[in-house]
Structure 1
Amino acid sequence: MASCAHEHLALEPSSQAQHAGYKRATAQRRLAAAQPSGQAPKTSGLSPAASTFPAPLVLPNDELSWDPDYDTQSLKSWLQLSERNKVTAGRRTIYVVPVPSVAAKVRYVQDWASPKLPSPRDSKKAPEVARPQPLDVRDYLAAFYHNLPVKLLSKPKLQFTSWGDESGARSSKKRSKQAYIALSIGSEAVRIRTRPSKDGFFAGQLNLDDLLDAAISLLPSDAYAVLLLVDHDLYEGEDDDFCCGRAYGGSRVAVISSARYNPALDVTQEVETEHAWPASHCQKYVDACLQEASQDAAPPRKKPKATVKSSLPQAASSALHAAVRAFSSISASLQPHSTLWLSRFCKTASHELGHCFGMDHCVYYACTMQGTAGLSEDVRQPPYLCPVDLAKVLRATEADVKERYEALLSFCERFEEKDRMFAAFAAWLRARIVEVGA
């Protein structure tokens, strides 16, 4: 969409929710879902403001549009989850594993991490942008899971190398079709399946399940969870186009890829950057998405409207409105791609580790633990935890809510002058800190 002022914000699910069959839990049930007893408190006026914690948008082709009956997970059901790993004195450290290096004899594998532009007249690699740095990801997670140690796991060294005989793979064409490479972990080697990406964006993808199995072997004895970072594009099953990450929560491991979050691919992947969170709640944008979907599926209908919308001037002090103003204050053309890339990667890192804490996908609110059906939905989702999932994390980490918010704010302030998402999150956090301190 062209430049937009985001004057009115959608705080309730779009009309697509009713069409898909999604029925949001009532305010009373949402309150109850954040209580360990499963019962809503008797004190009135405790419902979170919709202008701080709005509903999931449920736009056409969103995850909840495809699966509107996805089960809820309340705090009570999370506490009763037998598979959940509890934080203990002996296992409380989160480890972030930096991106594996690439051995010289398979240096072509390094090229797989760089996307190629899909235009048949220009098959050159996309311009190089500074990739997300493990130290920054570690610092973000240390704030997000405040009160738990978060460390880089630098030993054993990880390196992608050859699996079997490489002598028959001298040409670049043959190399892109290699069925396997190896991930060297100290003195051991784990076989990693590979294939070219189906859409042609990457010459090689790595199998996510194989990397998760490798991550399990990395678990230190004091680890609550391990997060393995990779630059390469991933796939899970043969029918998948790609996957950005996955967690084996019960096994305490997660793997995430930065490949698809590269801003150089935004145009070709049709990622709407002007209406990334928090501008994804722009009513004009929501209406446009609904109109586009209705034109594809049936004759045009009357423009749908959200149940609740709010104008920026009328709710100037709310967290979401403050976030939108901060987002809009930075021109997209001036935002460095490196910080945009980092913000997307950090959000996915916190989400996948959330599964290691036993959290399921959220259906109560717009929340960083929401499921996602694609990159377009991914960028529309917020970096914060909703009241239900926040209650789970505070239980697990024994953190103070205000101190956690202040830690996240401190991190966001490092980038807020140049990154739209971090600026928006910082503004949201400042408003939220005022709310919890009131």
Structure 2
Amino acid sequence: MTNPDAKDACKHTSLYLDVSPHASKAGFKRPNKRQRISAATQEGRVLKEIELLTCKELVEDEMAFPGPLVLPGDDLAEDPESPPQDFNEWRDEEERNPVTQERKTIYIVSSPLIEKSLSKMQAWSVCSSRNSAKKQDTEAVSPPDIRDIVEYLSAFFYGMDVKIFKQPFHWQKWDSYEGAVLKSSNTEKRIGLRTPSEELFGIRCRASPDGVSPMQVNLNDVLDALAENIPSDAHSIMILLDQDMYEGDGDIFCAGRAYGGSRIAAVSKFRDQPLCAPRDNGHAWPSSHCAAYI
């Protein structure tokens, strides 16, 4: 099916790589190139003989490191005085989990398999919002394969091993609840999450407050289950969920949470589905870097 608005769609022919004009109105001033290079060094200043993991030419390349747009409503627009984090502050973080020869592997856990007893849960990973993007605009987009995610993380965490956790987790019934979509987000039920060690954890779930997802699972409960299954050689372990998540009663949703000191993380892929994206004028990030839009 062809999008009737396609002929009028912006082609994004020119990129805008600096802060937007709104940045100055918000009171944000972007650090200059020298300040940015200084922040990436152990010495905190630019020396004649300087060694950077990222070469100086790339740091100065706007295509490699574009500026934050600072558009209305962005975090930096709301809090332009938020202190930046330089290399030394990042390195000296007290809760940092050290990388050692014994623990240098990042494990990625696929979304748990759904048992037949909880087959109604299959619908939880399907976007249900009426305000979502048009289906014809997203038909060509396939969900990322876990092997692609591993490849990306391997490049990001250069020098560390990134592996798929081979032993599957399973969703199953906890009690009599069979996974039917609840009518109110104020009502919580529990489903079971069975780990590779055959332990069964009760995971709270509820209807989504904003209606984008049919149901959500509680990320803290998921992390409790994950924490009991950390391999001995793991630097950290992350579980990817097809389902939407929430953390507390006041949350609309929570895309993910990592506890570095505990070496665990949970990330939901649900809201990254193009169908879950709100309708826009074609300039949602990263297309917001279009010069015509700015």
Give ranges in structure 2 of 5+ residues lacking alignment: 51-55, 132-137
Please name the residue that 1:281 is paired with.
Answer: 289
Q: Deviations over 1:312-339 (max 9, x none)?
A: xxxxxxxxxxxxxxxxxxxxxxxxxxxx
TM-score with structure 2 setting the length: 0.82
Letter of the aligned partner of 2:288 in structure 1? Answer: S
Local SS of the residue matching 2:107? strand
Distance in 2 separating the partners of 1:227 and 1:218 = 11
Please name the residue that 1:61 is paired with.
Answer: 73
Please name the residue that 2:84 is paired with.
Answer: 72
Please name the residue that 1:233 is paired with.
Answer: 244
Cα gap change, 1:211 to 1:271, in 2 (>3 Å): farther
Out of 173, 183, 198, the position equivalent to 2:193 is: 183
Letter of the aligned partner of 1:70 in structure 2? Answer: S
Out of 8, 12, 22, the position equivalent to 1:16 is: 22
Distance in 2 separating the partners of 1:41 and 1:272 = 46
Out of 138, 142, 146, the position equivalent to 1:134 is: 146
Please name the residue that 1:220 is paired with.
Answer: 231
Higher relative contact order, chain-length normalized (CA < 8 Å, sep 6+): 1
Runs of 4+ in structure 1 off by over 3 angstroms are: 5-9, 42-47, 126-131, 169-178, 271-276
Distance in 1 separating the partners of 2:285 and 2:183 = 39
Cα gap change, 1:271 to 1:133, in 2 (>3 Å): farther
Overall identity of the aligned pairs, in %:
36
Out of 82, 106, 110, the position equivalent to 2:122 is: 110
More helix by share: 1
Distance in 2 separating the partners of 1:127 and 1:182 = 33
Cα gap change, 1:24 to 1:173, in 2 (>3 Å): closer
Distance in 2 separating the partners of 1:21 and 1:12 = 15
Distance in 2 separating the partners of 1:62 and 1:175 = 31
Is 1:32 aligned to residue 38 of structure 2? yes
Q: Over the residues paired in the alignment, what is the CA RMSD in angstroms?
A: 2.9
Letter of the aligned partner of 1:66 in structure 2? Answer: E
Letter of the aligned partner of 2:65 in structure 1? Answer: F
Letter of the aligned partner of 1:38 in structure 2? Answer: G
State the Cα distance separating 1:8 from its structure 2 match: 4.1
State the Cα distance separating 1:127 from its structure 2 match: 8.1
State the Cα distance separating 1:170 from its structure 2 match: 8.6
Please name the residue that 2:53 is paired with.
Answer: none
State the Cα distance separating 1:280 from its structure 2 match: 2.7
Letter of the aligned partner of 2:30 in structure 1? Answer: R
State the Cα distance separating 1:276 from its structure 2 match: 4.0
State the Cα distance separating 1:34 from its structure 2 match: 0.7
Q: Deviations over 1:16-65 (max 9, x none)?
A: 22232323223322111110111122479866133432210011111222
More strand by share: 2
Cα gap change, 1:11 to 1:224, in 2 (>3 Å): same
Aligned length: 274
